[in-house]
């Protein structure tokens, strides 16, 4: 949701977590507005009508209303926000991304969820790898798309795992390092294949 910057944040994000609840607030539009995410964990899917916006707001208020700090003011802003959206933070792990001459990229393929913090990285790296494989394929689209998926799968899987490894506390530094270095961008090719020894990202 969006609200005016009543917290006075300047180029700074604020994250909070407490007993299965959390918030993320950051300024946009020259620090004049705030983008706000409020959330809570649920042990099972919620049985809610997707059209019942009033019920969604009431549920968020119920789950976070006991918290202090800036949360009461953020909840007040939530009730007034014209762009309020209620949905689950979820991942979809697909068996394949390609079919014929069509392939998926970024969130359409990997969907790590905002909890991973890796959506942009997966999209940018995926675009690079896809272009690299299409160039190396010299017109063999099917082989190029298959190679793109082979290279991206380990990278995508490790980045998806960042969202689920340690719920409520974030991934370990070791997991972050493995995820960052799970794909090669500047590799030596032998007959169009990716060298197995090349696995680290190099700037």
Tens digits of residue pLDDT in 189-201: 534 444 333 334 3
Confidence (pLDDT) at 139:
92
Q: Does residue 126 sit within a domain?
A: yes
Mean pLDDT throughout 150-165? Answer: 89
Q: Are 9 and 27 in contact (CB under 8 A)?
A: yes
Torsion over CA: 83, 84, 86, 90 (sign): positive
- Kindly report, residue by residue over 100-134, the tens digit of the pLDDT: 999 999 999 988 888 787 888 899 999 999 999 99
The domain boundary, picked from 31, 49, 80, lies at 80
For residues 71 and 144, membership in a common domain is answered with no
Helix (H) or strand (E) holding 93: none
Q: Is the same domain home to 103 and 68?
A: no
Domain assignment present for residue 147? The answer is yes
Could you tell me if residue 202 is inside a domain? no
Please work out, in degrees rounded to the nearest 5, the angle formed at the alpha carbon of residue 117 by the alpha carbons of 111 and 120.
Answer: 65
- Please tell me whether residues 64 and 149 are part of one structural domain: no
How much is the pTM?
0.69
Name which of 42, 47, 80 is nearest 63 in CA terms: 42
Q: Is 142 in the same domain as 189?
A: yes
Averaged pLDDT of the chain: 87
Residue 187: predicted pLDDT? 54
Domain that holds residue 76: 2-80
């Amino acid at each position: 949701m969006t609200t005016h910057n009543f917290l006075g944040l300047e180029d700074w994000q604020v994250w909070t977590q407490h007993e299965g609840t959390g918030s993320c607030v950051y300024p946009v539009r020259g620090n004049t507005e705030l983008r706000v995410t409020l959330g809570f964990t649920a042990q099972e899917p919620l049985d809610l009508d997707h059209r019942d916006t009033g019920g969604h707001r009431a549920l968020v208020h119920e789950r976070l209303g006991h918290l202090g700090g800036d949360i009461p003011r953020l909840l007040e802003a939530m009730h007034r926000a014209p762009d309020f959206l209620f949905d689950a933070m979820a991942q979809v792990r697909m068996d394949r991304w390609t079919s014929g001459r069509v392939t998926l990229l970024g969130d359409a393929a990997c969907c790590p969820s905002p909890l991973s913090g890796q959506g942009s990285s997966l999209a940018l790296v995926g675009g690079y790898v896809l272009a690299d494989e299409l160039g190396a394929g010299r017109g063999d689209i099917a082989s190029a798309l298959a190679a793109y998926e082979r290279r991206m799968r380990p990278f995508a899987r490790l980045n998806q795992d960042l969202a689920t490894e340690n719920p409520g506390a974030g991934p370990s530094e070791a997991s972050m390092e493995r995820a960052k270095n799970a794909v090669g961008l500047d590799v030596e090719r032998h007959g169009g294949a990716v060298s197995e020894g090349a696995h680290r990202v190099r700037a």
